[in-house]
């Protein structure tokens, strides 16, 4: 392999080192903890125009501070996946925990809490209501309205509940809430007009979060608003919402998007999501809001106004997804529930054309094998098989380059310091032997997008969260918990905390195996003759070992498996082409004492005896 080819490989690998190093050395600043915020309510600031949906939502949690809401009766929510309650004050869904997800690996740890009522440290809830349109002046139910339970006792997949409220002016409002066995609620709002005058009202729903949410704070992960507008996905980070344009009427900062046919809007965290979904085919106004004063984050879905004739009843239906971003569930809602682009609520990243199929294959293998760790190993074998034809040509070319090494050395001696003559001779040598000097870089270049795509999959998909492999690896989305500092559990003290500086040198079993596998892979070929390249290549396995030491165990497992398969493939191909890798000789060569300059000069001087 000539110097130019070595430089290309070196530059590629060092680029990867710089990118990975940047992730570790310069992580984004952690978000400050969210303060406790009191209940906030508003009065209507402007009427909705006839037949239209204005971006001013009565009851929006933005404008006017009010005391913490008083206690009100609650209706229990019990499903196979959710537990909690909804409040008759406002008829809001504001208390949900996820049955199958604990905060830590300890099965006795608290359940993950998704929604919380006003009065807790982090209020997070969904509210529905009606807004007046075209001068309609009548009492309407708002976030503080106390509803009556008309039917049902506990909200389950088999038993919906119906709430009612009579405004005393001839309008009777009902809200029927049902839920499936996963994470989808259906909220049907109806209004019965018993007066002798038609009224025009616009149904709406909003999701509000009080205080700055506690996020992962990692720049490759989106957390904040996620919404679909007629096939276009839009994401707004929590940190970007304070930079939205101020509302002309003083109702905080807003970003408005008109949905003509299909869409949804809500908030997404790393693993959890709360999303409002109007019926497919229904136009609505999607509004993102933020209040500088009250620090409330909000998304609204304001639907077209409905005219309710005397003696008639009008209704509006909206769904609410509140739960874990499980791929199967979300895909089912997209394919069977008609929610366009719902699977894109999972943050697939820029390499979505790779991350999606990689995850789908990994998910299938996990279902087939029953263990996510072995599924990652199987995925690695399949990916290596897919790229094997290209890798084969690359390894064959590298084997031919090795065969040409004596001729290349002779050419260098003949050319001396004439680099132009040497390059010309090498190109002729390559052409005569049909060798592509750049082909050795292809496996490395292929690995980079695959590596980052798999990293994204392991980092963002909930299927990897708390997924065990075997033994001490109980969470493939977390770093290897073992530590060389306590001899992998033999000494009677715990490994350093991940936030500690000592965590950098607290290597687990998997990172050490990664470094050894990279080191052995290098020993298939002699060390480069150039001293600088030789030093860089000698340190590279151990640098990667420390850099990837705190990466997810699943990713390190993939890299180890990839290195082992690459070693076997390259060794077999080199042997099949007459090259005999001297692995043990190359290892021993690496441990030999480097000769001092005087000794090296004496050894290379003609007539001088070699020591």
Least confident of 82-91, 158-167, 200-209, 347-356: 347-356
Q: Is residue 168 scored above 70 in pLDDT?
A: yes
Helix, strand, coil share (%) of the chain residues, nearest 5: 35, 25, 40
Per-residue model confidence as pLDDT tens digits over 373-387: 999 999 999 998 888
Least confident of 48-52, 284-288, 335-339, 425-429: 48-52
Q: What pLDDT shows up at residue 431? A: 76
* Cα–Cα dist 66/145, whole Å: 14
Per-residue model confidence as pLDDT tens digits over 551-577: 899 999 999 999 999 888 888 877 776
C-alpha distances in Å from residue 114, one per residue of 32, 111, 290: 19, 9, 20
Average pLDDT over residues 181-191: 97
Select the more confidently predicted residue: 30 or 310.
310
The chain-wide mean pLDDT, for the chain, equals: 81
Q: Which residues contact 445 (CB under 8 A, 6 or more apart)?
A: 12
Q: What pLDDT shows up at residue 370? A: 95
Per-residue model confidence as pLDDT tens digits over 488-502: 666 666 677 666 666
Whether 130 and 218 have beta carbons less than 8 Å apart is answered as no
Q: What pLDDT shows up at residue 45? A: 30
CB-CB neighbours of 449 under 10 Å: 14
Structure tokens, 256: 């408005």
Q: Is residue 164 scored above 90 in pLDDT?
A: yes
Annotated domain spans of the chain: 74-215+222-347, 360-580
Q: What pLDDT shows up at residue 34? A: 28
Select the more confidently predicted residue: 534 or 557.
557
Per-residue model confidence as pLDDT tens digits over 402-418: 667 777 777 777 777 77
User: Mean pLDDT: which of 7-11, 44-48, 255-259, 523-527 is highest?
Assistant: 255-259
If pLDDT is split at 50, 70 and 90, which confidence band does 284 have? very high
| Fold classification of 74-215+222-347 (topology level) | Beta-galactosidase; Chain A, domain 5 (2.70.98)
Q: What pLDDT shows up at residue 43? A: 29
Q: What pLDDT shows up at residue 42? A: 31
* % of the chain surpassing 70 pLDDT: 76
C-alpha distances in Å from residue 78, one per residue of 82, 176, 185, 318: 6, 16, 12, 20
What is the 3-class SS of 138-203, one letter each residue? CCCCCCCCECEEEECCCEECCECEEEEEECCCCEEEEEEEEECCCCEEEEEEEEEECCCCCEEEEE
Average pLDDT over residues 1-29: 44
* % of the chain surpassing 90 pLDDT: 50
Least confident of 157-161, 251-255, 303-307: 251-255
Least confident of 5-14, 245-254, 288-297, 407-416: 5-14
Q: Is residue 586 scored above 60 in pLDDT?
A: yes
Q: What pLDDT shows up at residue 4? A: 37
Q: Which residues contact 367 (CB under 8 A, 6 or more apart)?
A: none
Q: Are strands 313-324 and 184-193 parallel, antiparallel or unpaired?
A: antiparallel
If pLDDT is split at 50, 70 and 90, which confidence band does 424 have? confident
Q: What pLDDT shows up at residue 548? A: 80
Assign 573 to helix, strand or coil.
helix
If pLDDT is split at 50, 70 and 90, which confidence band does 441 have? low
Q: What pLDDT shows up at residue 412? A: 75
* Cα–Cα dist 265/301, whole Å: 7
Per-residue model confidence as pLDDT tens digits over 216-260: 767 788 999 999 999 999 999 999 999 999 887 777 899 999 999
Q: What pLDDT shows up at residue 35? A: 28
Average pLDDT over residues 579-604: 60
* Cα–Cα dist 304/52, whole Å: 5
Q: What pLDDT shows up at residue 444? A: 66
Select the more confidently predicted residue: 391 or 469.
469
């Amino acid at each position: 392999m000539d110097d130019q080819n070595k430089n290309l490989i070196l530059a590629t690998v060092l680029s990867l080192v710089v990118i990975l190093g940047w992730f570790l050395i310069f992580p984004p600043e952690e978000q400050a903890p969210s303060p406790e915020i009191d209940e906030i309510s508003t009065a209507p600031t402007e009427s909705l125009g006839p037949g239209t949906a204005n971006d001013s939502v009565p009851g929006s949690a933005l404008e006017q501070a009010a005391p913490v809401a008083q206690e009100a009766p609650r209706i229990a929510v019990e499903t196979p996946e959710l537990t909690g309650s909804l409040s008759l004050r406002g008829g809001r869904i504001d208390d949900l925990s996820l049955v199958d997800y604990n905060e830590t690996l300890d099965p006795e740890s608290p359940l993950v809490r998704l929604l919380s009522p006003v009065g807790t440290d982090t209020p997070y809830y969904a509210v529905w209501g009606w807004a007046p349109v075209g001068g309609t002046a009548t009492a309407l139910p708002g976030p503080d309205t106390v509803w009556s339970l008309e039917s049902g006792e506990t909200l389950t997949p088999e038993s919906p509940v119906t709430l009612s409220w009579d405004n005393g002016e001839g309008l009777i409002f009902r809200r029927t809430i049902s839920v499936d066995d996963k994470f989808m609620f259906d909220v049907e709002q109806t209004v019965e007009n018993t007066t002798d005058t038609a009224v025009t009202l616009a149904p709406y729903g909003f999701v509000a979060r009080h205080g700055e949410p506690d996020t992962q704070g990692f720049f490759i992960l989106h957390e904040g608003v996620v919404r679909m507008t007629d096939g276009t996905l839009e994401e707004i980070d929590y940190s970007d919402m304070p930079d939205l344009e101020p509302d002309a009427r003083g109702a905080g900062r807003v970003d408005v998007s008109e949905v003509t046919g299909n869409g949804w809007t809500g908030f997404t965290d790393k693993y959890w999501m709360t999303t409002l979904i109007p019926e497919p085919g229904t136009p609505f106004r999607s509004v993102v809001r933020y209040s500088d004063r009250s620090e409330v984050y909000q998304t609204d879905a304001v639907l077209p106004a409905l005219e309710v004739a005397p003696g008639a009843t009008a209704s509006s239906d909206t769904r609410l997804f509140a739960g874990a971003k499980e791929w199967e569930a979300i895909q089912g809602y997209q394919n069977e529930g008609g929610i366009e682009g719902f699977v894109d609520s999972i943050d697939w990243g820029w390499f979505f054309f790779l991350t999606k199929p990689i995850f789908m294959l990994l998910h299938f293998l996990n279902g087939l094998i029953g263990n996510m760790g072995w599924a990652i190993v199987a995925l690695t074998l399949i990916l290596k098989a897919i790229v094997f034809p290209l890798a084969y040509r690359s390894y064959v070319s590298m084997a031919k380059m090795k065969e040409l090494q004596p001729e290349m050395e002779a050419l260098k001696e003949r050319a001396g310091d004439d680099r132009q003559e040497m390059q010309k001779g090498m190109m002729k040598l390559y052409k005569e032997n049909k060798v592509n000097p750049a082909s050795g870089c292809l496996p490395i270049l292929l690995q980079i997008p695959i590596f980052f795509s798999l990293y994204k999959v392991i980092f963002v998909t909930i299927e990897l969260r708390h997924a065990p492999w075997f033994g001490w690896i109980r969470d493939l989305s977390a770093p290897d918990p073992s530590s060389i500092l306590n001899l992998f559990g033999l000494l009677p003290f715990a490994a350093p905390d991940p936030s500690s500086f000592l965590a950098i040198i607290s290597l687990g079993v998997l990172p050490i195996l990664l470094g050894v596998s990279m080191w052995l892979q290098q020993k298939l070929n002699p060390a480069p003759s150039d001293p600088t390249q030789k030093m860089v290549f000698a340190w590279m396995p151990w640098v990667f070992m420390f850099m990837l030491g705190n990466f997810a165990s699943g990713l390190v497992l993939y890299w180890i498996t990839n290195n082992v398969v690459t070693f076997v493939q390259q060794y077999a191909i080199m042997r099949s082409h007459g090259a005999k890798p001297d692995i043990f000789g190359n290892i021993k060569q690496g441990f030999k004492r480097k000769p001092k300059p005087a000794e090296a000069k004496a050894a290379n001087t003609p007539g001088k005896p070699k020591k």
